[in-house]
Structure 1
Amino acid sequence: MKVYGELEDTVNIVSEALAPYQTYFESPVNRLSVIKGGLASSSIQDLLNISGSTRFDMAKNLDLTEPTLRKHLSNNKELSTSLSEHVLFLLELYDKGLDTFGSIEEFKNWLPQHNIGIGAKPSDLLDSITGINMVMNELNRIDHGILA
């Protein structure tokens, strides 16, 4: 019973961290508006917390150096348009992964596994919007029972 409670707590923590971004996932107009205005730099910390990624891996996924990532984390400024878009797409991907697998841990366990449907490890595709879209499409196929 304790394990179930811990998993439920993890889902609640991740859901709460994703909640401020939900309206951006629902509408392309809302998404574009926040991307053009720039996400708050705190969104990167939210992404780190949700994904459990190291700063090194997150910097790699966002095409940043680790010192630049640290700078964004310590500043309270809006992110650039391209960085906002990348962070928002990754947040949406984790939201979708939670929905598809029912557990953020299950989703994180799935990411580094080679996937026949996309011909790669999903975690290797997170450094581009096209790659994130490929992973998102695979999650949609899983949702609909189309596994290959």
Structure 2
Amino acid sequence: MKYYETEDTAPQQQSIVAEMLAPYHSYFKSPVNKLSVIKGGLSSKSLSDLLEISGSTRFDLAKNLDLTEPTLRKHLSAPKELSTSLSEHVLFLLELYDKGLDTFGSIQEFKKWLPEYNIGIGAKPNDLLDSITGINIVMNELHRIDHGILA
């Protein structure tokens, strides 16, 4: 399922993204559930979901996940559980996109914000998505935006 961004399809895109994120919400809300699924391994479908939600290329997603593109492709084609570290990274990215959708009200607006330099974090948010610490920094900035603390 691939969607293309136009103003006419924005509400439909929001619905598609929300539906794709819905199965992960129980993990976002409970650290115990999150840890359990991380240790058990997310399914490889989570990579497909992340690829679709983020709109990233396979190359860019592989770079963020510290994988080669062929390795990512292998994960995408094989229906098996991901490693603990890969599961954690993917789940944190999915949670970030969920929060971005919530903060900006539009996945398109969040995606526009990610590559822009952000004075609050002293970097482009996109440049921080290759580590859990970086994702947490971006997540904290989204919380600051929610509360009107912009600098």
TM-score grouping bracket, smaller chain normalisation? over 0.9
Give distance in 2, aligned partners of 1:96 and 1:77: 27
Paired residue type of 1:32: L
Q: Name which of 115, 131, 136 aligns with 2:134.
A: 131
1:72 maps onto 2:75 in alignment: yes
Q: Which residue of 1 aligns with 2:23?
A: 20
Give distance in 2, aligned partners of 1:92 and 1:38: 16
Q: Which residue of 2 aligns with 1:32?
A: 35
Q: Name which of 5, 8, 12 aligns with 1:9.
A: 12
Q: Which residue of 1 aligns with 2:147?
A: 144
Taking structure 2 as the reference length, the TM-score comes to 0.95
Deviation at 1:122, TM superposition (A): 0.0
Q: Which residue of 2 aligns with 1:44?
A: 47
SS at match of 1:113: coil
Q: Which residue of 2 aligns with 1:96?
A: 99
Q: What are the ranges of 5 or more consecutive residues in structure 1 without an aligned counterpart?
A: none
Deviation at 1:5, TM superposition (A): 5.0
Taking structure 1 as the reference length, the TM-score comes to 0.97
Give distance in 2, aligned partners of 1:4 and 1:67: 34
Deviation at 1:130, TM superposition (A): 0.1
CA deviation vs aligned residue, 1:87-132 (integer Å, no higher than 9, x gap): 0000000000000000000000000000000000000000000000
Q: What is the aligned-residue RMSD (CA, Å)?
A: 0.8
Number of residue pairs matched by the alignment = 146
Give distance in 1, aligned partners of 2:88 and 2:11: 29
Q: Percent same amino acid among aligned pairs?
A: 79
Paired residue type of 1:126: L
Paired residue type of 2:57: T
| Superposition map of 1:106-121 within 5 A | 106-121=109-124
